[in-house]
Amino acid sequence: MKQVLNLFLLSVLFFAACKKENEVPESIPQPIPAPVAGKLQFAVELETAVDADSIDAVADLSLSSGQAIWVRKHIRLGKQNSQWVSAPMELPQGQYKLTAFMLKNGEELISVAPVAGSVRAAGVQQALPVSVGVTASGASLHPQVLPIGPVDGPAAFGYPAHAFQSNAMDILVRASVKVGNVMYDSIPASLELISTLANGQEYKAQFALVPGANLIPVARQAVQHRLVMKQWNTVAERVITPEEVQENGLLVLAAERDIKRLRMEMDYLEVEGQWQLKGNSIFSYRADGDLDRVQYYQKKPQYQDLQATYTDKGVYSGNRLTGVLRYDDRQVQVGKTWYEFDGAGKITHVSNQSYDVTIHGAIEQGVENGRQQTEIYYLFDNGSTMHYSMTYLGGNKIADKAISSKGGQEGGTYGYDTNINPYQQIMFPDLYLSRSSKNNLSSQQKGYTGAIPSSVPYKFEYTYDADGYPVTLIKYYKSGMTGLDLYRTKTTFTY
């Protein structure tokens, strides 16, 4: 029994010893070596010489993921041959993007690297952002920069407004041309800006002005600005000094010219793609330039040539138009229009007699909600009446409405271009003051209660001469009932 017990203890000790010999010892954590730092160096070429041994760069750098690494970091650059070079700077290895880069000589900003999509980006081959991989062996960046122009600001380089102070200040410029007695102050025009800098150099820029006020940048450091506006063969020029320049102040460039007098109109109807002459009008003037008469001709089926139909002859008291007499083709008077005026020369009454029908109109004019209102109250010789209301804005009738005592109504809204209406200052006023707008009708929307016209014009296409006057007008007509296209007419104008 004692021998068996000893053998058991001996086997236990044997197996325990074997287990310890085969067991793998527990591993001890080893320290992770720090990544090897990379180096980044800048090298830049400037278009203009700088009288200094060193300049400063201000840079924004981010990881390719977008995480910012540098924000407005200042970097010293020294002159090496034709380049300005920085000392190598340590950065963790990785992929980076340069998103902003500016150069300063002391406090003066001298050059900026433009951002892709900005106005100045067209001046470089590679705009920001620029990618670079920083490795242990080092990397270099060569940002392409452009000098700051006399009127350049952050937006021109694609930077936010607070990035640096703009070399420009904004002024408001509006073009206007007085044609005869009418001011056109909401017109397009061309503008040339010539700014003389303190060093004697001239900065020139061209602008296409739109109707109304235009924001124009001018150089802050200029000693003089010359602005030249051109439109309708007129020129307005103005020279201003820095003391006269107010930021966001309005500068009006105004020119003047005489009116052009309409000599002849020719009217055509499109038939199977061909323009057929249907009538014309010939305008004659007095020695003082006022309209003397208008002779009307129309195409009649029984004649090959145009035939005279009517002649309207102006009646004057001195230089004041008091009426118009209408004669037929045999020079027999068949109608007349006469006017009454107030002390300011505005029409207060207009009456018309055509054959045996007479209409009287009393005119009231005023301002409502900043818009001119013209109200005409008509009395017909059969006892019926009509009220015609017109709303004007910017010298153009933009809306009207007529209500008859018999229940009929008609109204509309109207749009205009920016060119010169050739009738406004020359034509005899008619019963409805229909030619009183200063610009040319370009669109209209009409509505009717009661009688609906068989055709209404809905589209107007003009061609103009260099003086802003129409030479051709094509009108498109549609059915007043169905809205379907019907026909086109063409009018040509000779001055």
CATH of the domain at 383: 2.40.160.190
Does 481 fall in a domain? yes
Single-letter code of the amino acid located at 181:
N
> Do residues 247 and 352 share a domain?
no
CATH of the domain at 74: 2.60.40.3540
How many CB atoms within 10 Å of residue 413? 14
Give the structural domain span for 486.
Answer: 264-494
Q: How distant, in Å, are the alpha carbons of 255, 322, 324, 490 from that of 317? A: 32, 7, 12, 36
168's CB contacts (< 8 A; 6+ apart) are 150, 151, 152, 153, 217, 218, 219, 220
Does 28 fall in a domain? no
> Do residues 270 and 251 share a domain?
no
> Do residues 317 and 458 share a domain?
yes
Residue 138 has pLDDT above 90, yes or no: yes
DSSP 352-387: EEETTEEEEEEEEEEEETTEEEEEEEEEETTS-EEE
Q: What pLDDT, in 10s, does the model give residues 363-375? A: 999 999 999 999 9
Q: What pLDDT, in 10s, does the model give residues 267-282? A: 999 999 999 999 999 9
CATH of the domain at 207: 2.60.40.1120
Residue 403 has pLDDT above 90, yes or no: yes
Does 461 fall in a domain? yes
Q: Could you tell me where the beta strands, DSSP code E, fall in 272-356? A: 274-285, 291-299, 306-317, 320-328, 333-341, 347-354
Q: Give mean pLDDT, residues 114-131.
A: 97
The residue to which tokens 């018999």 are assigned: 406
Q: How many domains does the chain have?
A: 3
Q: How distant, in Å, are the alpha carbons of 70, 102, 151 from that of 163? A: 15, 10, 15
Q: How far apart are CA 318 and CA 100, in angstroms?
A: 74
Residue 132 has pLDDT above 60, yes or no: yes
Long-range contacts from 308-314, C-beta under 8 angstroms, 24+ separation: 310/334, 312/428, 314/286, 314/290, 314/428
> Do residues 313 and 447 share a domain?
yes
Q: What pLDDT, in 10s, does the model give residues 180-196? A: 999 999 999 999 999 99
> Do residues 81 and 124 share a domain?
yes
Model confidence band, residue 485 (pLDDT cutoffs 50, 70, 90): very high
Are 494 and 470 a contacting pair, CB within 8 Å? no
Phi-psi category of residue 232: left, alpha or beta, with phi > 0 → left and psi -120 to 50 → alpha = left
Does 274 fall in a domain? yes
Residue-level pLDDT at 10: 40
Does 424 fall in a domain? yes
Q: What pLDDT, in 10s, does the model give residues 47-68? A: 888 999 999 999 999 999 999 9
> Do residues 197 and 283 share a domain?
no
Residue 20 has pLDDT above 80, yes or no: no
> Do residues 384 and 465 share a domain?
yes
Q: How far apart are CA 259 and CA 468, in angstroms?
A: 11
The tokens of 359 are what?
Answer: 């209409």
Does 14 fall in a domain? no
Residue-level pLDDT at 248: 81
> Do residues 347 and 425 share a domain?
yes
> Do residues 274 and 404 share a domain?
yes
Residue 43 has pLDDT above 70, yes or no: yes
Model confidence band, residue 245 (pLDDT cutoffs 50, 70, 90): confident
Least reliable range by pLDDT among 26-30, 79-83, 220-224, 239-243: 26-30
Q: Give mean pLDDT, residues 223-228.
A: 97
440's CB contacts (< 8 A; 6+ apart) are 416, 417, 419, 420, 421, 460, 462, 470, 473
Does 30 fall in a domain? no
> Do residues 176 and 66 share a domain?
no
Cis preceding-peptide flag for 129 (omega within 30 of 0):
yes
Residue-level pLDDT at 353: 97
Residue-level pLDDT at 296: 98
Q: What pLDDT, in 10s, does the model give residues 417-468? A: 999 999 999 999 999 999 999 999 999 999 999 889 999 999 999 999 999 9
> Do residues 330 and 346 share a domain?
yes
Q: How far apart are CA 84 and CA 80, in angstroms?
A: 6
Does 32 fall in a domain? no
Residue where one domain finishes, among candidates 126, 157, 188: 157
Residue 32 has pLDDT above 60, yes or no: no
Model confidence band, residue 119 (pLDDT cutoffs 50, 70, 90): very high
> Do residues 147 and 199 share a domain?
no
494's CB contacts (< 8 A; 6+ apart) are 262, 263, 264, 265, 266
Better pLDDT: 81 or 180 = 180
Residue where one domain finishes, among candidates 228, 257, 286: 257
Instruction: Report the helix count and the strand count for the chain, using DSSP H and E.
Output: 2, 34
Residue where one domain finishes, among candidates 242, 257, 272: 257
Residue 159 has pLDDT above 70, yes or no: yes
Q: What pLDDT, in 10s, does the model give residues 302-347? A: 999 999 999 999 999 999 999 999 999 999 999 999 999 999 989 9
Are 196 and 140 a contacting pair, CB within 8 Å? no
